[in-house]
């Protein structure tokens, strides 16, 4: 009896893996369209392709693994739209002059978008028991927000990363202490 079960088990495992590949491919199509659309809006430059590839790779891993990681993909991409818009607007507005002083708006708007995105992630995961949910959502929000940063300087990316990371980290610590 044991010899008959082994081939059937392999057939079932192969069918299961095939079904998962089809499901991930179907769920990945809107993610791919969304990422490519935002990349086209941001302008197709090497930095944008890098951020697009990173967001797509995190999405593939999240959707393939499923459970908490899979549940974090779509909300993370949607939350990332806020930092994207803020950073994109900062790059288009340029700078503001008051008298003899001119100030670039890119970094403050990247920080603002990151903070709002981080607060949205913290709000979305406030009842979750999984740290992976907040990490994947935060990484995707940062990757999508990076698409809008016109210069992708270290200070702009760091301000966006801190804006996303601090509220998420605070929410995780606060939930653990409660």
How much is the pTM? Answer: 0.77
Angle at 104 between CA 137 and CA 36, to 5 degrees: 40
Report the pLDDT value the prediction gives residue 1, as an integer from 0 to 100.
46
Statement: residue 2 has pLDDT above 60: no
Percentage with pLDDT > 70 across the chain = 87
Statement: residue 6 has pLDDT above 80: no
The Cα 57–Cα 134 span in angstroms is 17
Report the pLDDT value the prediction gives residue 163, as an integer from 0 to 100.
74
Tens-place pLDDT, residues 83-131 = 888 888 877 777 778 778 877 777 788 778 888 888 888 788 777 766 7
């Amino acid at each position: 009896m044991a010899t008959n079960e082994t081939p059937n088990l392999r057939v079932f495992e192969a069918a299961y893996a095939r079904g998962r590949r089809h499901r991930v491919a179907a769920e990945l199509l809107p993610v791919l369209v969304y990422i490519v659309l935002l990349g086209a809006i941001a302008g197709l430059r090497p930095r944008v392709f890098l951020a697009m590839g990173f967001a797509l790779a995190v999405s593939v891993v999240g959707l393939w693994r499923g459970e908490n990681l899979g549940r974090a993909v779509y909300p993370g991409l949607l939350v990332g739209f806020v930092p994207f818009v803020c950073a994109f607007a900062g790059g288009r507005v340029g700078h503001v002059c008051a008298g003899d002083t001119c100030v670039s708006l890119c970094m403050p708007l990247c920080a603002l978008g990151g903070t709002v995105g981080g607060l949205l992630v913290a709000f979305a995961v406030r009842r979750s028991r999984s740290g992976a949910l907040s990490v994947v959502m935060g990484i995707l929000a940062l990757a999508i927000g990076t698409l809008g940063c016109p210069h992708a300087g270290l200070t702009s990316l760091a301000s966006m990363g801190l804006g996303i990371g601090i509220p998420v980290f605070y929410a995780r610590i606060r939930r653990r202490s409660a």
